[in-house]
Amino acid sequence: MRLSDVLKLPKQPHSLSIIKDFLEKPLSHLDYQAAFSYYFEIAIELELFDLVYDEGEKVLKEIAAQSDSPYYEKILKHIIEASIKLEKFENARIYIDQRRQLLPILKQYLAVLDEIEYKKALGLPYLEDLMKVLKDIIPDPVKIYCLEEMFVIYRDDHQYEMALNSLYELYDFDLETKYFNEELKLLVTLKKHDEVIKKALNALRNAEKNPYAVLALLEVYIDKDDFHKASTLEAEYEELIDKEDEEFKKKAYELIIALYKKMDNKPSVDY
């Protein structure tokens, strides 16, 4: 078996033993580090964090005197992830610093991503780190990751305009469908009624009706005291609402009850 064969192995438990056998052969430093890097990658995928941490420490000592290779920092990356998952934060800090020193200038953003995962695990703020990464020259998947993280931070911190801006930046990566419901919620919260109505009605014109568009419209119509449109909407999409899960129905019924209370329609409220 050659290294190229090893690197094609599926990320399944049986592949670990195959790679271990391969590592027992006489190998160049490059092949040895490459094989161990993939070994740890599979183990991380299988959430075998103890294995990565324990074996990783031994491997680092073995390869410390070997010539540099692009796989050294990749091995460190996997050990950093395992250290964080196992809450071995002091060692994670050491490995993060080691990896930073190995990374070329154009890939220093990877060290900042390590910092972000470290800070997330410790409950420390990391918004500035995300902004720092976004200023760098980075691949699209990293931009998406940073923007998604920023969206969650802003939303949870009730900075709804900033959260909305993060979503609109994500839309540049064809993620509008994924985040459409979140956009509606933010627009409702910000009382941008006209935008909600336009977007929600447009969504309901599609063959596959979006139930969250119904909720958004209900909330806006009730807030605007447009009882006729709210009642018509509730009647038209009653069947769609009843097909959703319990959490969704609970929210819908709360809105419908609020509507009938505003209309002083006691029989409907009781029903």
pLDDT of 112: 96
pLDDT of 63: 85
| Token duo for residue 152 | 């969650």
Provide CB contacts within 8 A for 63, sequence distance 6+: 29, 32, 33, 36, 72, 75
pLDDT of 271: 73
pLDDT of 264: 79
User: DSSP string of 148-212?
Assistant: HHHHHHHHHTT-HHHHHHHHHHHGGGT-HHHHHHHHHHHHHHTT-HHHHHHHHHHHHTSSS--HH
Nearest C-alpha neighbor of 39 from the set 75, 76, 1, 91: 75
pLDDT of 166: 96
Query: At which residue do the structure tokens 């092949």 appear?
Result: 31
Burial class for 93, CB neighbours closer than 10 Å (0-12, 13-18, 19+)? middle
pLDDT along the chain (271 residues), means of 10: 91 94 91 93 96 93 80 94 96 95 93 97 96 94 97 97 96 94 96 95 86 94 92 90 91 89 78 73
What is the SS3 string spanning 77-138?
Answer: HHHHHHHHHCCCHHHHHHHHHHHHHHCCHHHCHHHHHHHHHHHHHHCCCCHHHHHHHHCCCC
**Alpha-carbon dihedral 102, 105, 106, 111, rounded to 10 degrees:** 50
| Token duo for residue 252 | 């819908």
pLDDT of 50: 97
Cβ burial 108-132 (10 Å sphere, 16+ → b, else e): ebbbbbbbbbbeeeeeeebeebbeb
